[in-house]
Copies of this chain bind each other. A is one copy, B any other.
Amino acid sequence: MSPMRPPFRFEVLATHGRARAGILHTPHGPIPTPIFAPVGTQATVKALTPAQLLEMDVSLILANTYHLYLRPGDELIAELGGLHRFMAWPRPILTDSGGFQVFSLAKLREIDDDGVTFRSHLDGSVHRFTPELSIRIQENLGADIIMAFDECPPPYDRAYNERALERTHRWAERSLKAHTRRDQALFGIVQGGVFPDLRERSARFLTSLDFQGYAIGGLSVGETKAEMYRMIEIVNDILPKDKPRYLMGVGTPEDLVEGILRGVDIFDCVLPTRLARHHAAMLAQGGRLNMRRAEFARDPRPIDATCGCYTCRHFSRAYVRHLIVAKEMLAATLLSIHNIYTLLRIVREMREAILAGTLDDWVAQWRAEREQEAKSG
């Protein structure tokens, strides 16, 4: 396979087993990999300013094509200079294809080989997505990394997955053909549910097309952890080593660790910001603290004494709990900062360990701390 096309470049700096540490160069700057991308569904990472994301050194965020197409509209965003300028985010952006949201959020979907007709979850209006329209919307938004339009079937329905896979492959070809902007890297999406042979078929077929990177879709949607990790292994053993790999919608500490060990470079998930709005603080070893609990009312300690985020450097558990009880917006902001920072810590520490050749030690320690935490919790 050919490497990525300029202005994109993917450098693998070091490997350890399947795990890789690298740099993905984009028109809006470099992304150190492995990386976790917070989600800015509606052109804002909920409850945070771009300045707060930059202070955490976030290097990539995701925005949703489906949402922005419906509101405020991709043409309006293009008219205002594109998504980077619209939301004042100077670093790389990734947009999804809109497929996943059409299948999970929209109503009255009718799928045919040409595309999907659906009703908006906002006002019930009827819309139709095709691979060509998804690419046009994503070109209007102007993200650095964009996705081929795909179908996301339920993971255990074999017959459906076979049909959907054929469609996804045709749509992948059409997405490639429709894409014109050279300053965007178009990624193909491997599907196939929990079926090893379908995953393999999908990975091989998409690898034969000239995508700039590859995503693994349709995971973390109800299958077991063992199945998810197995699918990642099967797919990553086929995907080209000189292009980035993106595991879509995954964002627990455990899944980041296991994904990186299996060769994943990019992750995204709404989990850290969604949990924050539900008062949960994430811990790097995988546990969560419900910060509303009465036991924190007089607790002078930070959420996590080992964490270096703005929240943990300045505020006590007692203060965070007070904000939650008093229904103050700042609670969501402070917890979002902590949760995103916690996931960034994991990918950064693992990247350093891969570069230093100490990944085995890092993972052994992480697992020991995880067991410790599970016992004490």
Contact = CB atoms under 8 A, between A and B. Distances in A.
Contacts of A228: none
A140 to B, nearest CB: 14
A318 B72 contact: yes
A133 to B, nearest CB: 21
A86 interface: yes
Interface string A333-357: 1100000000000000000000000
A136 interface: no
A294 to B, nearest CB: 11
Copies in the complex: 2
B297 A328 contact: no
Given A80-B300, A298-B79, A298-B80, A47 B329 contact: yes
B43 A88 contact: no
A329 B326 contact: no
Interface in A41-90: 42-44, 46-52, 55, 71-72, 76, 79-81, 86-88
A23 interface: no
Contact of A316 (B46, B86, B323): B86
A71 B325 contact: yes
A323 B310 CA distance: 25
Interface residues of A, number: 39
A314 interface: yes
A51 B311 CA distance: 11
Contacts of A160: none
A332 interface: yes
Given A71-B325, A80-B318, A322-B43, A48 B86 contact: no
A313 B328 CA distance: 26
A156 interface: no
A330 B44 contact: yes
A105 to B, nearest CB: 14
B333 A49 contact: yes
Given A76-B297, A316-B86, A51 B332 contact: no
B328 A329 contact: no
Contacts of A333: 47, 49, 329, 333
Contacts of A55: 51
Interface in A115-130: none
B334 A49 contact: yes
Contacts of A205: none
Given A72-B322, A334-B49, A42 B297 contact: no
A330 B80 contact: no
Interface in A210-239: none
Interface in A293-331: 297-298, 300, 310, 314-316, 318-319, 322-323, 325-326, 328-330
10 contacts: A42-B323, A42-B328, A47-B333, A49-B310, A49-B330, A72-B322, A76-B298, A80-B316, A81-B300, A88-B319
Closest 8 A-B residue pairs measured CB to CB? A88-B314, A72-B322, A42-B326, A47-B329, A44-B330, A44-B328, A80-B300, A86-B319
Given A44-B328, A49-B333, A333-B333, 5 more contacts: A46-B328, A49-B52, A76-B298, A88-B315, A329-B329
